[in-house]
Structure 1
Amino acid sequence: MSAQPFAFIVDDEPAMLDIASFALETQGFRTATFSTAEAAWAALTRTRPDIVLLDVMLPAASGMDLCRRIKSTWHIPVILVTAKGEAHDRISGLEAAADDYVTKPYHPRELALRSQRLVRQPDSAQALHTVWGTLNLDTTNNAAALGGNHISLTINESKLLNAFLTHPGITLSYDQLLMLGWGESERLGHRQMIKAAIYRLRHKLDETVPGSSALVESVRGTGYKLRSPGSSTARDTAQQ
C-alpha cells in the first residue's frame, strides 16, 4: 500500500460521491469516483486501489455483483454502502465477501475511519504467522493454509481465524468476536454479521479439506471456539 491510500468510490448519486470523496480526502486518501459498476470494473483492470467503497443499488450491474467479481479476482478490501439496513441485506453483503458495510445516511467521518481501518498496514504483532497443527495463518497477507493447501481470506475472516488460533479451546463470545474481528464494541445486528463471516470461513476450510469446518465449533447462544488440539475431532481433522 502506498503512503497515501487510494480509494475507488462507486455510487450513482453525484451528491453521495462528493460526500464520500471529501470525507476520505480529508483523512489523507486519494480518490477516484465512478457512477456505474462497469466503469469501476474497467478502471480496476488498469489500476489497483487500496479499497473500494461500493453502493449496492447501481444501474445495470449491482454492487453485490461487482463485489463478488472483485473478491474472486483480487485481495482488495470492499465496503458496501447501502440505504438498506435490514439484517438480511447486511448478511447478503457479507456473503458476497464484503469486508464491511455502512448504511445510508452515514456520518462521513465514520466512513473515513472504517476505510482507514481496512487499509492500515499491519503492525508487528499482526504480521506474525500463527500455526495450529497443520492449519497456519499469515495475517500479513490474509491467507491461511491447511494441510499445505492455500486459503484466501478477507481481512475480517483473517482476524477471526487469528482470534481462534490464539485462543484454542476457549469460547469467544459474539461481543469478543466483534471487537477482535471488526475493532468495535457494539453494532446493530452484529450476531448475524459474525455468523455470516463464520459461515464463509467454515466453507473455505471445507473446500480445502472436507470436514475441516468442524474445527470451528458453535457454542449455542454464546459464540464460537476452535476445538482444542487435544480433542479427537480436531486432531483427526487437522491431520487430514
Structure 2
Amino acid sequence: MESEHATPRALVVDDERQMRDIVSFALETQGFTTVEASDAEKAWAACERQAFDVIVLDVMLPRASGITLCRRIRAFSDVPIILLTAKGEAADRVAGLEAGADDYVVKPFHPRELALRAMAIVRRYRDANAVSRIVNGGLEIDPRTHAVLRDGERLSLTQSEFSLLLALASRLDEEVTWTELLQEVWGTDSLLGGRDMVKTAIYRLRGKLGESSAAPRYIHSVRGLGYRMPRLPPA
C-alpha cells in the first residue's frame, strides 16, 4: 500500500466535504497529490486501487469508524496513518494508537501544521530506508524493508512503532529523551499529551518484543527522562 513515487500521495478520509477540501488543499501546498474518501468503504477501495504514502483519517465516520478502518489497514500495511479526533476525546486517541495509528491531530487544528506533520512522517519513513541494518542481541532491524526480527521471528510493527524502535536502536547505550522521541517519531516536541502517546507506543512495542517494563531486555526506562536501549552481545 505504500507508494514509491517521488511525489507523495495522501488519502484524506472524512465524511465532511469541507474538511476534506481543507485538508487536501493544505497537503497539496506541501507537494502531495491527494485522493478523498467520505467513508471507510470508499477509503478501503481507494487503498486497493493505489498506494499511498500517508493516510489522514477522521475517527468519526458513518457506518464503520476510522479506528475500525485503521485496524483493517494495519492488518497488512505499515503505511503512516494520522487520526483526526475531536477535542477532549482522549479515549479515541488512545484507541486509535492501540489500533496502529502513528499520530493524531485534535480538531480544530491549523491545516498547515497537519500538512507539515504529514510531510515529516513521510520523510522519516523514506529516510529510514537509507540507514544500514542494525543487529543488537537477538534483534535485527532492516530500515530499507522495515523488517524487524526477534530471535529469527519476524515482528509486525506499525510505522510509529518501527520509527520508535529505530530511534532507540540507532543510539545504543544512549538516553533518548521524551522530547527527542516525540520529535523524531511524531514530528512534535510538545509534551502536552505527547508523553502518553510515547508511553502507549512503548507499551505496544514491548509487548511485541516479548518483554515488559518490569523485566526489560531491549527498552529500558530512564526515570524522568525517557528510554534507552543497551548494547547487547550477539544472541
Short-chain TM bin = 0.7 to 0.9
Q: Note the C-alpha offset of 1:37.
A: 0.6
Of the structure 1 ranges 111-120 and 82-91, higher mean CA displacement relative to structure 2 is found in 82-91
Deviations 1:84-115 (A, max 9, x none): 44443322211111011111111111111111
User: Residue 215 of structure 1 aligns to a residue in which SS?
Assistant: coil
Q: Note the C-alpha offset of 1:212.
A: 8.5
User: Residue 69 of structure 1 aligns to a residue in which SS?
Assistant: helix
User: Residue 28 of structure 1 aligns to a residue in which SS?
Assistant: coil
User: Residue 21 of structure 1 aligns to a residue in which SS?
Assistant: helix
- What's the counterpart of residue 191 of structure 1? 195
Question: Residue 81 of structure 1: which of 80, 84, 102 is its match?
Answer: 84
- 2:203, 2:130 → 1: CA distance? 23
Could you tell me which runs of 5 or more consecutive residues in structure 1 were left unpaired when the two chains were aligned: 230-234
- What's the counterpart of residue 175 of structure 1? 179
- 2:22, 2:215 → 1: CA distance? 44
Q: Note the C-alpha offset of 1:77.
A: 1.1
Question: Residue 58 of structure 2: which of 24, 37, 55 is its match?
Answer: 55
Letter of the 1:172 partner, please give it.
V
8 Å contact from structure 2 (residues 179, 191) kept in 1: no
8 Å contact from structure 2 (residues 182, 189) kept in 1: yes
Question: Residue 164 of structure 2: which of 148, 160, 164 is its match?
Answer: 160
- What's the counterpart of residue 18 of structure 2? 15
Question: Residue 109 of structure 2: which of 106, 111, 129 is its match?
Answer: 106
- 1:213, 1:9 → 2: CA distance? 38
User: Residue 53 of structure 1 aligns to a residue in which SS?
Assistant: strand
Question: Residue 34 of structure 1: which of 13, 34, 37 is its match?
Answer: 37
Letter of the 1:132 partner, please give it.
N
- The residue correspondences of 1:200-239 to structure 2 (distance < 5 A) are 200-206=204-210, 214-229=217-232, 239=235
User: Residue 140 of structure 1 aligns to a residue in which SS?
Assistant: coil
Q: TM-score, normalised by structure 2?
A: 0.87
User: Residue 210 of structure 2 aligns to a residue in which SS?
Assistant: helix
- 1:218, 1:74 → 2: CA distance? 29
8 Å contact from structure 1 (residues 156, 181) kept in 2: yes
Aligned residues: 229
8 Å contact from structure 2 (residues 121, 185) kept in 1: no
C-alpha root-mean-square deviation of aligned residues, in Å?
A: 2.4
8 Å contact from structure 1 (residues 10, 40) kept in 2: yes
Letter of the 2:12 partner, please give it.
I
Q: TM-score, normalised by structure 1?
A: 0.85
- 2:16, 2:75 → 1: CA distance? 26
8 Å contact from structure 2 (residues 9, 54) kept in 1: yes
Identity value in percent? 49
Q: Note the C-alpha offset of 1:124.
A: 7.6
- What's the counterpart of residue 232 of structure 1? none
